[in-house]
Structure 1
Amino acid sequence: MDGESSGEVNGQATDAVLIAGPTASGKSALALSLAERTGGVVINTDSMQVYRDLRILTARPTPDEEGRAPHRLYGHVDASVNCSAGMWVADAAVALAEARAQNRVPIFVGGSGLYFKALTRGLSAVPPIPSQVRDDVRARLERDGAEVLHAVLARRDPAAAQRLKPRDRARIARALEVVEATGRSLIDWHRDGLPPLLPPERARAVFVAPDREVLYARIDARFDAMLAAGALEEVAALAERRLDPLLPAMKAHGVPALVRHLRGEISLAEAAQIGRADTRHYAKRQFTWFRHQLTEFAWVRPEEARKALD
């Protein structure tokens, strides 16, 4: 690639590079290296790295790394905000337009499959949900529990309820707030979607796939390094804000367990063990999701990734 915003990669016409992979796979370092070589801009495609409150625990690029190449959509959202895929797409559209105007290669990197899917295949056109409706649904969820709200959803939106498990708190709340705010099923909104920002045929997309055991060892080591770097203090500051536990930032890997430790419910060692295990399970789900949902991504081993993009 020659630093222009469109060109060819491996003989394929491209407007952007997409680098996905499980957590701790080395994809951020790959994106930074590519941005330095091409004059590109790194655009965050990770649903947790958007939150400014969690630089350490979400492994956001360091200030030094951000100084080596332009970075966009990192740490620009407060933890009190539910940054939906729709919000991210709107921000990504601005970042993409900016990259094109500056004649830079946009390099989207992250592990959130839904964000990549929204980028390349479009997104449902669900309108913003009024805060009053969202707060009411969440208050009922806390008071009555997920199974009661699932029964309510079954009456209001049977098709959506049938697709959800009775204890799936977050998805039940989302489906119920949508039908109560709009009068339409979330399924119907998904059917009437927004067009993709970046059609797959105009992007070079790779999924960095390390050996599982090597990856899991890296995840464990990185979580311990995060604790040593101040992740517990970061979570303590977040916990002091007493935010809604259903907010995405409050469910970031490691946050719930570390909050429990801060409350005196479990030891730090137990919290760390839970955080490491949750992150390993998430990595496993990332492999599965990309394999079945985004088949256009070429799977590459970490040691072969740079060559696949050069």
Structure 2
Amino acid sequence: MSNVDSPDKPPLALIAGPTASGKSDLAVRLAKVLESVGRRGVVINADSAQVYADLEVLSARPSVDEMQGVEHRLFGDWDGAQACSAADWAERARVEIELAHEDGAVPILVGGTGLYIRTLLDGIAPVPPVDPQVREAVRDMPLADAAMALQAEDPDRAARLGPADSARIRRALEVVRSSGQPLAHWQQQLSGGIGGAVILHPAILLPDRAWLYERCDRRFAAMLQRGAIAEVEALLARQLSPDLPVMRAIGVPEIADFLRGTAILEDALARGSQSTRNYVKRQITWLRHQPPTDWPRVESEHFNEGNIFASLLRD
């Protein structure tokens, strides 16, 4: 995710932060500052939940009022019946970034999904399609058996995954069984990244964890009052596969249990809040350690867009 500065390259602002960190507000404020100096900002979503039209409330997708007249792209563009992979999103994001540059605008990438950001900037591994029979066999295995199989067939990948990380365990096992090579083999052959073709102006938001957790709890409780239950009810009515990302998004399983009568609302609230905090913890870990060390880390709840993006505003 490195970037080589060059005056011949167009700019790309990146605001990456965990859930409830205020990154969407900062993106709009940056766009307003750009507007004040005669430039146009276009906010492009890099959040794996906010891409789904079905998750307006539970993903905290910006409302029309919150967008404040600033152009927003890739928010709610996918139907929940269609999984949006990192490759799918990166392909669309590249198009939106190119269109913004062609129009003389500054694309402002905002989100907290590390895999999306990494795929866009660094490229994607050319993993061959998984044999459907292999996929079906792996998906039918109990998770414990899949983890043991991965330990035998790709021990390096197994050592990096937690025992409950079902999606990544199954994906790694599918790849090694279908292609004959571990996932790491393919990830060493990344292609298609745009990191070297833009002047990147990044900011990593890392406000106080306790402050974030308190905001997460308040936000999830507010979601239950603002339509999250009806949102999940509509999803259940569609009878979508439980393996789809939209059905596994934070809040959906918890509220679904309440709607099925297997949990009371207080339990759904507690579990949804805890799931959100767990996700924030994983996001913080990724944001602290995975992006390049020269990307600015903003460890405050108060953001000054003029200071954070001084280099962008000077250009």
Q: Would you say 1:33 and 2:29 are equivalent positions?
A: yes
Aligned-partner Cα distance in 2 for 1:163–1:217:
30
Alpha-carbon deviation of 1:106? 0.5
Alpha-carbon deviation of 1:41? 0.6
1:71 corresponding residue in structure 2? 72
Secondary structure in 2 matching 1:184: coil
Secondary structure in 2 matching 1:80: coil
Secondary structure in 1 matching 2:302: helix
1:309 corresponding residue in structure 2? 309
Return the letter of the residue paired with 1:52: A
**Deviation digits for residues 56-80 of structure 1 (CA, Å, limit 9, x no counterpart):** 1001111334471211111112223
Return the letter of the residue paired with 2:201: R
Aligned-partner Cα distance in 1 for 2:181–2:188:
11
Alpha-carbon deviation of 1:86? 1.5
Return the letter of the residue paired with 2:19: T
Alpha-carbon deviation of 1:242? 2.9
> Residue 306 and residue 166 in structure 1: after superposition, are their counterparts in 2 closer, same or farther (change >3 A)?
closer
Alpha-carbon deviation of 1:131? 5.8
Secondary structure in 2 matching 1:50: coil
1:3 corresponding residue in structure 2? none
1:299 corresponding residue in structure 2? 297
**Deviation digits for residues 176-196 of structure 1 (CA, Å, limit 9, x no counterpart):** 222344333212111111142
TM norm structure 1? 0.86
Is the 1:122–1:194 Cα contact (8 Å) retained in structure 2?
A: yes
Return the letter of the residue paired with 1:304: F
Aligned-partner Cα distance in 2 for 1:41–1:175:
36
Q: Would you say 1:20 and 2:21 are equivalent positions?
A: no
Aligned-partner Cα distance in 2 for 1:251–1:164:
19
2:280 corresponding residue in structure 1? 283
Q: Would you say 1:197 and 2:194 are equivalent positions?
A: yes
Is the 2:11–2:199 Cα contact (8 Å) retained in structure 1?
A: yes
Return the letter of the residue paired with 2:78: V
Is the 2:208–2:301 Cα contact (8 Å) retained in structure 1?
A: no
List gaps (5 residues or longer) in structure 1.
Answer: 1-5
Shifted more, 42-51 versus 145-154: the winner is 145-154
> Residue 164 and residue 152 in structure 1: after superposition, are their counterparts in 2 closer, same or farther (change >3 A)?
same
Alignment of 1:1-310 (within 5 A): 15-36=11-32, 37=35, 38-66=39-67, 68-129=69-130, 134-138=135-139, 140-141=140-141, 145-154=142-151, 156-199=153-196, 202-294=199-291, 295-300=293-298, 301-307=300-306, 308-310=308-310
Is the 1:170–1:246 Cα contact (8 Å) retained in structure 2?
A: no
Alpha-carbon deviation of 1:247? 2.3
Tell me the matched-pair count.
297
Alpha-carbon deviation of 1:284? 1.9
Over the matched positions of the two proteins, sequence identity in percent amounts to 44
Secondary structure in 2 matching 1:286: helix
Alpha-carbon deviation of 1:149? 2.3
> Residue 194 and residue 170 in structure 1: after superposition, are their counterparts in 2 closer, same or farther (change >3 A)?
same
Aligned-partner Cα distance in 2 for 1:114–1:80:
21
Alpha-carbon deviation of 1:155? 5.2
Shifted more, 280-289 versus 239-248: the winner is 239-248
Aligned-partner Cα distance in 2 for 1:187–1:93:
25
> Residue 133 and residue 66 in structure 1: after superposition, are their counterparts in 2 closer, same or farther (change >3 A)?
farther
Is the 1:19–1:27 Cα contact (8 Å) retained in structure 2?
A: yes
